[in-house]
């Protein structure tokens, strides 16, 4: 079975690389947000012009990034969303909610200390993993029907 998997969530660790490497040989098409933090933050003003007010600077970038994010989530079969230990990740929760509203399958990757804060996100998910390796094993099972 071939899957399209969108990797949403925090961009400060290498969890995406770990999942992709552990899924070597599987028929998976990967997509995700722009993970170059500076490019993601500054794309709007770089393309459409500078803003004096930081709110509008951020808004231009977020609006442009939303095109990629929405399209990726709409086209995917499975959304994997990672909530890391650093920073508040409201965007990741938004991505999970959007995927849930579209009826997408969701795998959440989170540390145990986030369980209470993410209980609603977890309730909408098909699976909750603790490590990138567990995500990869779940995707391997879904695509091959083998443990």
Question: Is the confidence at residue 62, as pLDDT, over 90?
Answer: yes
What's the pLDDT at 12? 86
Query: pLDDT (tens digit, 9 = 90+) per residue, 79-124?
Result: 999 998 876 788 999 999 999 999 999 999 999 999 999 999 999 9
Q: What is the fold of 3-32+74-144?
A: Rossmann fold (3.40.50)
The predicted structure's pLDDT at residue 88: 74
HEC readout, the chain? CCEEEEEEECCCCCHHHHHHHHCCCCCEEEECCCCCHHHHHHHHHHHHCCCCCHHHHHHHHHHHHHHHHHHHHHHCCEEEEECCCCCCCHHHHHHHHHHHHCCCEEEEECCHHHCCCCHHHHHHCCEEECCHHHHHHHHHHHHHCCC
13-58 pLDDT, tens digit per residue, is 999 999 999 999 999 999 999 999 999 999 999 999 999 999 999 9
Q: Domain coordinates of the chain in residue numbers?
A: 3-32+74-144
């Amino acid at each position: 079975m071939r899957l399209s998997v969108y990797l949403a969530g925090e961009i400060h660790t290498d969890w995406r690389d770990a999942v992709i490497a552990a899924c070597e040989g599987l028929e998976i098409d990967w997509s995700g947000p722009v993970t170059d933090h500076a490019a993601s933050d500054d794309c709007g003003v770089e393309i459409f012009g500078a803003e004096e007010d930081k709110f509008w600077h951020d808004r231009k970038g977020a609006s442009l990034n939303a095109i990629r994010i929405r399209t990726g989530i709409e086209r995917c079969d499975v959304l994997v969303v990672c909530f890391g230990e650093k920073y508040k990740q409201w965007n990741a929760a938004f991505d999970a909610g959007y995927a849930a509203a579209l009826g997408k399958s969701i795998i959440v990757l989170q540390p145990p200390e986030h369980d209470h804060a993410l209980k609603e996100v977890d309730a909408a998910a098909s699976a909750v993993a603790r490590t990138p390796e567990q995500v990869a094993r779940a995707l391997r099972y879904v695509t091959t029907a083998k443990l």
